[in-house]
Structure 1
Amino acid sequence: MTATTRESTPVEIEGGGVELRTREIGGGLSVAFVRFPAGTDMTPALRGMPDGMCPCPHWGYLLKGRLKMVTKDGEEVYEAGQAFHWPAGHVPVALEDCEYVDFSPTREFTEVVDHIKGRG
């Protein structure tokens, strides 16, 4: 079994108040600890991905703030205290300072993280 904390999980992306920490935890899944300051729009970072959206599904829990998820079918707002599933094809936009933890398939998530890091 594997366990980790936010503090012991390596930082993969950091800058402008955005912080992404991720670690593979087994079973083909990775955990991510994410912080977005209010106003963060991931649209520019996801350009070049299929449909300009994140192609990786995520399951998790919003710890703090409000986050709008833009999809081809519209928008949905998530608030602190909600568990979520975001299927492939989404773009997060932070309406308030946000913190969440999510679980994602490692291979797909690594491709997204590498893409975002390559744009920086």
Structure 2
Amino acid sequence: MPSANKLSTPVAVDEELIEGRYAELDGYTVGFESFPQDVDPGPFFAGLPDDRCQCPHWGVVTSGQITFRYADHEETYVAGDAYYAPPGHLPLIAGGTSVTEFSPTAELNATMEVVGANMAAAAGAPA
């Protein structure tokens, strides 16, 4: 049976706003993500349907707080909470938050292609 551990999963993303470690487990990706400061990544989802994340996620907040914003409501989770975020959400993350999250790999990759392009464009934008 495949497994992943935060300590043995290499860092794949090391940015000012996020450190992410990702391992594929038979069609799903487990992500160990840490956010050192408050972050509203909503603008990075521009270009996806409704400009919102279209990938479902199942996860556990290991520290801090994450809020998922939907068109008609918000759901907030804190350390110790397990969650399901269906397609159509935008995350809002408090500094000091860490999550362990499971996502279907194909949907995650399609989403991250758009997010990554938006992050690169923002990094190259004049201040």
Give the secondary-structure state (helix, strand or coil) at the position aligned to 2:76. Answer: strand
| Deviation >6 Å, runs of 4+ | none
Equivalent residue number for residue 110 of structure 2: 111
Equivalent residue number for residue 101 of structure 1: 100
The structural deviation recorded for 1:94 is 1.2
1:35-114 residue pairs with structure 2 within 5 A? Answer: 35-114=34-113
Q: Which runs of 5+ in 2 are unaligned?
A: 121-127
Matched to 1:73, the amino acid is D
Structure (1 or 2) with the larger CA radius of gyration: 2
Give the secondary-structure state (helix, strand or coil) at the position aligned to 1:44. Answer: helix
Q: CA RMSD in A?
A: 1.4
Name the stretch that deviates more: 55-64 or 28-37: 28-37
Q: For the residues of structure 1 that align with 2:66 and 2:106, how far apart are their CA atoms?
A: 25
Residues 34, 97 of structure 2: 8 Å contact kept:
yes
Q: Which runs of 5+ in 1 are unaligned?
A: none
Name the stretch that deviates more: 103-112 or 37-46: 37-46
Higher strand proportion:
1
Residues 35, 94 of structure 2: 8 Å contact kept:
no
The structural deviation recorded for 1:7 is 3.0
